[in-house]
Amino acid sequence: MKFAKIPMATINRLSIYMRTLQEMLEEDVEVISSERLAKQCGVNPAQIRKDLAYFGEFGVRGVGYRVNDLVVQIKDILGLNRPWNLAMIGVGNLGSALLRHGNFTKHGYIFTAAFDVDPKKVGKRLPNGITVNHVDELEEKIKEKEVLIGLITTPAGEAQGIANQLVLAGINGILNFAPVQIQVPDCCHVENVDFTIKLDSIAYHLSVGS
């Protein structure tokens, strides 16, 4: 291990490794080789070893990796050894589905605030116990609840404005579901989820026939 710039792709793969390892834990697998893990994750074994080598030596030569240890290590690397408070902005179709979804909590992501502008939604109590606030209260509530990551599920036209407000409120991690490229200062990290791009990619592959 040496100090080097970590490829973005490595970080994403670490998530996948962790997910797969957690499944294995439930099946009482104690030790795993990079080869087996690689097959399961659909990557090259050397890739896994190299990804991990950016951060340390976690395996035992001739043996493999202890599944449990590796999960702990990867969580440490990714910063998942602590809870992360989330805020949802836009409690519509998609926002509600996400709020209802239990998987986030399981991974340490906790919805602690939700915002909308629709009077029919503001004040409503959600299944997970939180109450929908008006967007006007965004900054106040986000600071009060120590939210660190904002999820944007408003219509596309509103997304940039919401992003601006989030940044002002001190947020520097945004997961954006609206199909627009939002612009933020460097201090803020944005990830986009855009299903249509993925569909376009499938359409392309089917069209060129490979």
Which residues form the interface with DNA (CB under 7 A)? 1-2, 5, 7-10, 32-35, 43-47, 49-50, 52-53, 57-65
Burial of 96 from C-beta contacts in 10 A (0-12 / 13-18 / 19+): middle
Q: What does the alpha-carbon distance between residue 108 and residue 150 come to, in Å, rounded to a whole number?
A: 15
Question: Which residue, 65 or 177, is less far from DNA as judged by CB?
Answer: 65
Stretch that binds a second copy, among 57-65, 130-138, 158-166, 181-189 (CB under 8 A): 181-189
The single residue among 56, 140, 155, 197 that binds ligand NAD, judged by CB under 6 A, is 155
Q: Please report whether residue 189 would count as binding a second copy according to CB under 8 A.
A: yes
- What is the four-CA torsion angle of 162, 164, 165, 166, rounded to 10 degrees? 90
Partners of 31 in beta bridges: 66
**How far is 10 from 50, CA to CA, in rounded Å?**
9
Residue sitting closest to ligand NAD (CB): 92
Find the binder of a second copy among 47, 96, 160, 164 (CB under 8 A).
96
Candidate list 85, 179, 190, 192; residue touching ligand NAD; CB under 6 A: 179
Angle at 82 between CA 76 and CA 86, to 5 degrees: 125
Q: Does 147 bind ligand NAD (CB under 6 A)?
A: no
* Residue 57 or 191 with smaller CB distance to ligand NAD: 191
